[in-house]
Chain A
Amino acid sequence: MKRFLTVLFIVISLVPSVFAQGRTETVFTQEIFAMDTYMSVKCYGKEAEEAAMAAVREIQRLDSLLSTGKETSEVSRVNSSGSAVLTGDMKELMELSLMAYEKTSGAFDATIFPLMELWGFSSKEFRVPGKEEIEETLKKTGSDKLSYDSESGKLVLGESQRLDFGGIAKGYTSMKLKEVFSSFDIDGAIVSLGGNVQTYGAKPDGSPWRCGIQDPFSSSGQSVIAAIEADNLAVITSGSYERFFTGEDGKTYHHIIDPSTGYPAESDLVSVTIVSKNGAEADALSTACFVMGKEKAVKLWQDSGREYEMILITKDGTLHITGGLKDSFQTNSKFEIIY
Chain B
Amino acid sequence: MTTSGKKKADIILIAALLLAALLFLLFQLFSRQSGAVVKVSVGGEVVKELSLSRNQRYEIGGVNGGFNTLVIENGQAWIEDADCPDALCVHMGKISFEGQSIVCLPHQVVVTVEGSSSESSLDAVAK
On A, residues with C-beta under 8 Å from B are 1, 3-4, 7-8, 11, 14-15, 18-19, 21-22, 30-33, 36-38, 40, 124, 190, 192, 195-197, 199, 203, 209-214, 218-222, 224, 227, 235-237, 239, 242, 273
Contact = CB atoms under 8 A, between A and B. Distances in A.
Contact of A18 (B17, B27, B127): B27
B105 A7 contact: no
B1 A1 contact: yes
Contacts of A235: 124, 126
B121 A214 contact: no
B126 A197 contact: yes
Contacts of A4: 9-10, 12-13
A195 B27 contact: no
The 4 closest A-B pairs by CB, nearest first: A220-B93, A195-B127, A214-B127, A212-B125
Contacts of B110: 31, 38, 40
Given A1-B1, A15-B23, A195 B31 contact: no
Contacts, number: 106
Which of B94, B105, B124: most chain A CB closer than 10 A?
B124
Given A33-B105, A220-B91, A196 B27 contact: no
A222 B124 contact: no
Interface of B: 1, 9-10, 12-13, 16-17, 19-20, 23-24, 27, 31, 41, 43-44, 86, 91-95, 99-100, 103, 105, 108, 110, 121-127
B127 A199 contact: no
Nearest to B63: A33
Contact of B126 (A37, A124, A213): A213
A221 B90 CA distance: 12
